[in-house]
Chains A and B, each alone.
Chain A
Amino acid sequence: MALPVTSSGGREGGGTAGQVTSPDGPAVERVRPVSARHFVRLKLRVMGNSFRGQGWRVAMFAGSVIAGLWFAGTGFFLLAAPGLADEPTYALMTAAFGGGLLVLGWLLLPLVFFGVDETLDPARFALLPLSRRTLVTGLFAAALVSVPAVAALIAAGGLVLASGLLGGAAAALVAAVGVVAGLLLCVAASRAMTSAFATMLRSRRVRDLAAVLLAVLAALLGPLQIVALAAVRQADWDRLTGVARIVGWTPFGAPWTVGVDVAEGRAWAVPVKLLVTALTIGALLWWWSRSLESAMVGAAGGGPAKARSGPTRAGTGPAGARSGAVGQLFPWAVGWARRDRFGALVARECRYWWRDARRRANLITIAVVGIFVPVMVNFGGASFSTGDGTELAAPNSSPMLVSLSMVVVGALASVTLANQFGFDGSAYAANVVAGVSGRLELLARMAAFSVYVLPMLGVVAVLLGMVLGRPTWLGVMAGSLVASYGAGLAISAFVSVLGAYSLPETSNPFAMNSGAGVAKSFLALLSMLGAAAASVPMVVAAALLGDAWLWLAPPLGLAYGLGAALLGAYLAGDVLDRRTPELLTAITPRR
């Protein structure tokens, strides 16, 4: 039944091609120009085809639409609030800060968490005779056709309503122009950023620099939030309006504030602000086109610096203990592992956490979040009270709060494994063919990940203990951390076996299939909630047991976490054994 339909579809396509190269004339002269429209249609077609016969993909997409609508609705009413409540004093602030937050989110969230939808992978266009300009505008237009972009547009529509209510039709019209320009700015910014970072992370030379840069960027979120909270608390509205005015002149606020400007009688500012926006968009697109080109060639080539040093080591080189193939496989950090199945799995995973750009980006995120969440939770009160002259080291913290923040960190870290098989893609076939048992597989993956994460979390705990000036809390922190991390590993083991999804095979570590962002958030949320729930006893104990807990927490937490992880690997391993081929199919990208 399906066959005739697809083949007639194909013939239809052939028909349009026939118009381009009509049989009676020379073909080459009548090449029709390619416009952005074609890219948009291509993207819609690819998205549509990827849904065919894949119910869960449709469900994932529906989920992303619902999430997008929810966000859009909330944003709309928040941004429209000054207009609805007829409070012109807050209009400028809402527009500047709300819009600025939107831009910031588009800049950072794809890097730190969601990734970008690369339904149209630029590398696929490398062989087509398209000018760079055509390609960039086309890909840009295609990028606009996405759930987040539509959601952001709806949310920003609140600004149009607010301007209209405060300043009449003219203000609404100007605001609408501004909102559209702002959306273009957001999308251009996210594309330029991810593309630039992808290029940097691919290059062996600057990838470590890129990693640090990414971490710093993401870490900025923390202090920003603290500053914002403190500013709101101090409630000096005049000063805030001043800040909003300044933000309104930067690319972050310019497109969003034009409507308010008209409403408040500053129409002269509109052309200038729109010019600022247009120039920014132009610069971003130019930047994007630069890194796009290197992404297209980079995917085909690979770059010169890839050959690793010491080529003589493999064969006849200076014989040493490490010159054998087995010695090369095991990195220094897992030198302790036995040279057997388990050891091989751990060693290979360790190598992958470092060599695979996608995994490395995840490790960086953990490092950043690991520092930033506890600081947020434990110093959240400190920044309020500094105004009253209270000392910084007396935040509203307690063993329970510290324990809670550590639970969050541990859960967040473990959630990285929620799609651990998706990282491998079809390469996982090697393990299937070798008949690796599910328990061994999961245990090895947990162990390898822990080689990186446990030291990182340890550093976080020690740092926090020192900064808080409470070294005696170190035990509680370590206990909660390990407990929630272990419980999270167990839950992630199940999620990764049952809810695996494929990641696109591109050289961009931030690339995601359309809708996969939702799956990622959903599964991650599920695992995190599970891990946090499983660690509640640790927090409760911290609250109830008082000083005794300071000594009991480390051993009990360790036992709890270790036990949970082992039990998880044991039970999920059985599930894995039963559905190995299904898992392989789920994580194999369809090309």
Chain B
Amino acid sequence: MTDEHPALVLRGLAKQFDGKVAVAGVDLDVPAGSFYGLLGPNGAGKTTTLSMAVGLLRPDAGGARVLGHDVWADPVRAKQLLGVMPDGVRLFDRLSGAELLAYHGLLRGMDPAVVDQRAAELLDVLALGDAGRTLVVDYSAGMKKKIGLACALLHGPRLLVLDEPFEAVDPVSAALIRDILHRYVVGGGTVIFSSHVMEVVQRLCSHVAILAQGTIKRVGTLDEVRGDRSLEDVFVEVVGGRTATGEELAWLSR
């Protein structure tokens, strides 16, 4: 069933902000069942690309298809199949964790009993049950990430789009999230996530794309992209980073 269409197809996505190019034509094919890592330095356009892919931001040009459904022409079908955790976006954080999950579940048209059961399970697994009725606004940054992930997972989507899921998360929780995502992919789901943590990408991903200055610089399976070097070396080469020579910022040491 998933064989007919790739999980996510991006074609010529482009976006400018006030004349400044953020994304300059991105093509991407995310095969169903893949674990896709989107790498890139700060300001590369990862968030912008993913926002356009899921229908949060209208692109200047190009389009996106989720399992064959156009995100802009047929948003209802496409969005049903999607689970999204955006970055830099607030949650409805004046709800408690359980309330937030219930809201998301019902919004996705789920049965209340199923919502109750899954919400309790997710809160338990992600170690958020202790927070009780604390409002999400009072959660720590890592807890917010985790409840955001729970919201994206709740309705059992076919494609998960996660922006920086490992940011601000402690090692134990990160391992837990990796575990969950891994099981999700083994179970037939597809994940695309952005990150700048090389080890995580190297450990998890089947496919990698490196985005810099709004265009895709490298794309393919993990082995194709990294060859016989480490992913970090490839990344630094592609992005063209500089290393501190020791001359500048001399005033920092005294």
| A residues at B contact (CB < 8 Å) | 1-3, 21, 23, 26-27, 52-53, 302, 306-315, 324-329, 339-341, 343-345, 347-348, 351-352, 355-356, 424-427, 429-437, 505, 580-582, 584-585, 588
B98 to A328, Cβ gap below 8 A? yes
Chain A residues, CB < 8 A from B91: 427, 430
B90→A427 contact, CB < 8 A: yes
- Does chain A have a CB within 8 A of B5? no
Chain A residues lying within 8 Å of B167, measured Cβ to Cβ, are none
CB-defined contacts of A308 to chain B, threshold 8 Å? 96, 132-135
Partner of A315 from the list B76, B96, B106, B123 (CB cut-off 8 Å) is B123
Closest 10 CB pairs of A and B: A311-B132, A344-B106, A324-B116, A435-B79, A53-B18, A325-B119, A325-B102, A325-B98, A339-B112, A329-B102
- One of A314, A326, A344, A425 near B96 (C-beta < 8 A): A314
Measured CB to CB, the closest approach of chain B to A26, in angstroms, equals 7
Residues of B near A339 (CB, < 8 A) are: 106, 112
Q: Does B54 contact A (CB under 8 A)?
A: yes
B116 surroundings in chain A (CB, below 8 A):
324-327
Stretch at the interface among B27-35, B37-45, B55-63, B233-241: B55-63
B173 close to chain A: CB less than 8 A: no
Q: Which of A306, A327, A347 contacts B134 (CB 8 A)?
A: A306
Contact status A313-B56, CB under 8 Å: no
Stretch at the interface among B80-88, B177-185, B202-210, B219-227: B80-88
In Å, the complex CA distance between A581 and B56 comes to 5
Interface residues of B (CB under 8 A from A): 17-20, 54-58, 75-76, 78-80, 82, 84, 86, 88-99, 101-109, 112, 115-116, 119-120, 123-124, 129-135, 137-138, 151, 250-251, 254
Q: How far is the CA of A351 from the CA of B133 in the complex (A)?
A: 13
On whether the beta carbons of B123 and A311 are closer than 8 Å, the reply is: no
Is B99 touching A325 in the complex (CB atoms < 8 A)?
yes
Given contacts A325-B102, A433-B84, contact A345 B95 (CB under 8 A): no
CA distance A314 to B123 in the complex (A): 9
- Tell me which residues across on chain B come within 8 A of A52, comparing CB atoms: 18
Quick check: A427 and B102 within 8 Å, CB to CB?
no
Q: Known contacts A326-B102, A348-B95, A355-B94: does B80 contact A435 (CB below 8 Å)?
A: yes
Q: How far is the CB of A319 from chain B (nearest CB, A)?
A: 11
Q: Are A341 and B138 in contact (CB under 8 A)?
A: no
With A312-B132, A427-B90, A434-B107 known, 7 other A-B pairs at CB within 8 A are A2-B19, A307-B138, A324-B102, A429-B56, A435-B75, A435-B80, A584-B57
- Cβ contact within 8 Å between A427 and B89: yes
Closest chain-B Cβ to A403's Cβ sits at a distance in Å of: 38
Inter-subunit contact B104/A581 (CB<8 Å): no
Cα A310 to Cα B96 in complex, Å, equals 12
Task: Please indicate the chain B residues that have their CB under 8 angstroms from the CB of A437 in the complex.
Answer: 76
A314 to B116 Cα, complex, angstroms = 10
Report the bound CA distance from A345 to B105 in whole Å: 11
- Which of A309, A314, A425, A584 is within 8 Å of B97, CB to CB? A314
Contact across chains for B104 and A328 when beta carbons are under 8 A apart: no
Taking the closest CB of chain B, its distance from the CB of A2, in whole angstroms, is 6
Q: Closest chain B residue to A25 by CB distance?
A: B251
Q: Which residues of A contact B19 (CB under 8 A)?
A: 1-2, 53
A329 in complex: contacting residue of B75, B80, B88, B95, CB < 8 Å? B95
Q: How far is the CA of A223 from the CA of B189 in the complex (A)?
A: 66
List 25 A-B residue pairs with CB atoms under 8 Å apart, sorted by A's residue number.
A53-B18, A308-B96, A311-B131, A311-B133, A313-B132, A314-B129, A314-B131, A314-B132, A324-B115, A326-B119, A328-B133, A329-B99, A340-B106, A341-B106, A427-B89, A427-B90, A427-B91, A429-B56, A430-B92, A433-B55, A433-B79, A434-B79, A435-B55, A581-B55, A581-B58
Asked if A326 contacts B104 (CB within 8 A), the reply is no
A425 surroundings in chain B (CB, below 8 A): 90
Residues of B within 8 A of A324 (CB): 102, 112, 115-116, 119-120
Contact of B101 with A582 in the complex, beta carbons under 8 Å = no
Chain A residues near B76: list those with CB within 8 A.
435, 437
CA–CA, A355 and B116, complex, Å:
23
Q: In the complex, how many angstroms separate the beta carbon of B106 from the nearest chain A beta carbon?
A: 3
A317 to chain B: closest residue by CB: B132
Residues of B within 8 A of A26 (CB): 254
Taking CB as reference atom, which chain B residue is nearest A312? Answer: B132
Given contacts A340-B109, A348-B95, A435-B76, contact A329 B132 (CB under 8 A): no
The listed residue (A430, A432, A505, A588) touching B55 by CB distance below 8 A is A432
